[in-house]
Amino acid sequence: MKSAVKLDLESVIDSRRVSRFQIVIMALCALVAMMDGFDTQSIAFVAPEIVTAWRIAPSTFGPVFGSGLLGGLIGAILFGGAGDRFGRKPTLLLAVLLFSIGSLITPFAASIPSLIAVRFITGLGLGGALPSFISLTSEYAPKRARSTLVGLMFCGFPLGAVIGGFASAKLIPSFGWASVFVAGGTLPMLVMPFFMAFVPESVRFLGLKRDHAAISNVLRRMDCAGVWNGEFPKPAHQTRAPIASLFKEGRAVGTVLLWITLFLSLLMTYFLVNWIPVVARQSGLGIESAVRAVSMLNLGAFAGCMVLGWLADRFGTARVIGCAFTLGAVAIGLIGHAGGVLVLLYTSTFVAGFLSIGAQMCTVALCANFYDTFLRATGLGWSMGISRIGAIAGPVLGGMLLGAGVAPPTLFIVAGVISLGAAITVFMIGHYVLRARASLADLPSKGISNDELHRPVGY
C-alpha cells in the first residue's frame, strides 16, 4: 500500500532516486555543453591555418580570440538574467540558435575585422547558453548529488572540445578550415528539435512561478506526481536589482572569491587553449599534432573534472581543488619545455588539463550550489561573465608576450603563476566560506529554521 505522506516540491526532488526522465534532461544538457565546447574552441583549432592562409602574424589573432570571449561575457550576463525572468529553456534555445548561426556564417569572413565581428556574435550565444544548461541540470538534480551531477554534465564541455579537436585534425586537411565551422553550426540545429521535445522547463523555476499544471505534468513524467503536496516554495526575498542580491544575505564573500577564482582560471584556460597550437606550429609540429595537443588538454580536463569531484566529496572541496591548481601550475610550466617532443607535449598538456582545468570545472559546478533558485541563472551568468573577462585577457596577454619576443618556456611559466593565483583564492574560499558553512551544520539543534539553515552563505 502506498504511503499517504505528501512532500513539498523541494523534498520530492531531493528525497527520491534520480529518474530516467531526469537523466535524459541532464544528458541533453551535456550534449548542448559538448556543442558549446566544440564551437568555443573551434577558432583555436583553425587559427594556425588562417594565419598561414592570410599571411598574417600570429600575434594579430589575439583580438579574434578576445572578440568571441567578449561576446561570451555579455551573453552570459544578459541570458543569465533572462533565464531567471523568462525561464531556462527558452533562453537556452535562443542562445543555441544564435551560436549555431554565428558558426555557420564564420566561413564567409574574409578579413580580421569581419572575423572579429562574427566571432563576437557567436560568443553571445556560447556564453548565453552556459547559465541555462547549468541551471537546468542543477534544478533537476537532488541536493545530495547536485555537485556530482552538474560536474558530470559539464564534462560535456571539454569532451566537445576533445571531439572537435580530433575532428578538426581530420576535417582541415581534407576540406579546409571552413568545414570546422560548418560542422559546429549544423550539429546544434539538428539537436534543437530533440531538446524542445524532451526537455521541460526547470521544475524548481515553475515552482517560483506557481504553475501547478506544468509542475504536475513534469512530476508525472518523473513518476512521482502523487507524492507532491501541491504547495509551492515560499517566495524568496527578491529585489528589483538581482545583481544586488548576489551580495546580500551572506553571499558577498563567496561571490567575490568565486569571481576572482573563475577570472584567473579562465584566463589560464584560454591562454593555453588558444596559444598551444600556435606555439606548437612554431616548434615545427604539423597542424594535426598542434590540434591534438589542445585535445589532450581537454581530455585531461574531462578526466580531471570527474576524479577531482569525487575526491572533493571525500577530502574537502577547497583542499582538493586548491591542491589541483597548485600541482597543475607545474605541469603548465613543463608545456613550454616540450619543444617538438610529442610525448612530452601530450603528457604535459594532459596533466595540466587534468589538474588545473579540471579544478576550474569543479569550481563552476560548485557555483550552481551557491545561489537560490530565484537567483541561480543570474548568479551563474555573472560568474560566467566575470570569468570571460579573464578568458578575454588570456589570449590577448599571450599575443602581447609573443609580440614582445617572450620565449615559450617563459610564456607557460606565466600561465603556471596564474594557476597558483587561482589556488590561493580557492584556499581563501575554504577558510572564509566553507568554514562558515560548516558552522551552520549545528544550527538545527539550536532552533534555527530549515530555510535559514540553507541560506547560501557559502558552499
Structural domains in the chain, CATH included, are 9-453 (1.20.1250.20)
**Model pLDDT for residues 149-189, shown as the tens digit of each residue:** 888 898 888 888 878 888 888 898 889 999 999 999 999 99
- In angstroms, the CA 351 to CA 348 distance is 5
pLDDT at 261: 94
Q: Which three cell numbers stand for residue 266?
A: 579562465
Banded pLDDT at 244 (limits 50, 70, 90): confident
Query: 53: part of which helix (H) or strand (E)?
Result: helix 20-54
Q: Which range among 228-237, 366-375, 449-458 shows the weakest confidence by mean pLDDT? A: 449-458
- The answer to whether residue 257 scores a pLDDT higher than 60 is yes
Q: DSSP of 97-110, one letter per residue?
A: HHHHHHHHHGGG--
What pLDDT is recorded for position 222?
86
Gap between the Cα atoms of 371 and 204, Å rounded: 13
Q: Report pLDDT for 238.
A: 54
CA distance 91 to 223: 27
Model confidence over 13-66: pLDDT tens digits? 888 888 899 999 999 999 999 999 898 888 878 888 888 888 888 777 778 877
Cα(421)–Cα(309) distance, rounded to whole angstroms?
Answer: 20
> Judging by beta carbons within 10 Å of its beta carbon (0-12, 13-18, 19+), is residue 46 exposed, middle or buried?
buried
Q: What is the distance between the alpha carbons of residues 399 and 58, in angstroms, rounded to a whole number? A: 8
Which stretch, 59-73, 202-216, 276-290, has highest mean pLDDT? 202-216
Instruction: Give the per-residue pLDDT at 236.
Output: 55
Average pLDDT on 263-281 reads 84
Residue with cell 527578491: 238
Q: What is the pLDDT of residue 5?
A: 56
Q: What is the pLDDT of residue 425?
A: 94
Q: Taking 90 as the threshold, does the pLDDT of residue 327 lie above it?
A: yes
- In this prediction, residue 96 carries a pLDDT of 96
CA distance 49 to 54: 8
- pLDDT confidence of residue 51: 85
What is the secondary structure of 344-378 as a DSSP string?
Answer: HHHHHHHHHIIIIIHHHHHHHHHHHHHS-HHHHHH
Q: How confident is the model at residue 2 (pLDDT cuts 50, 70, 90)?
A: very low
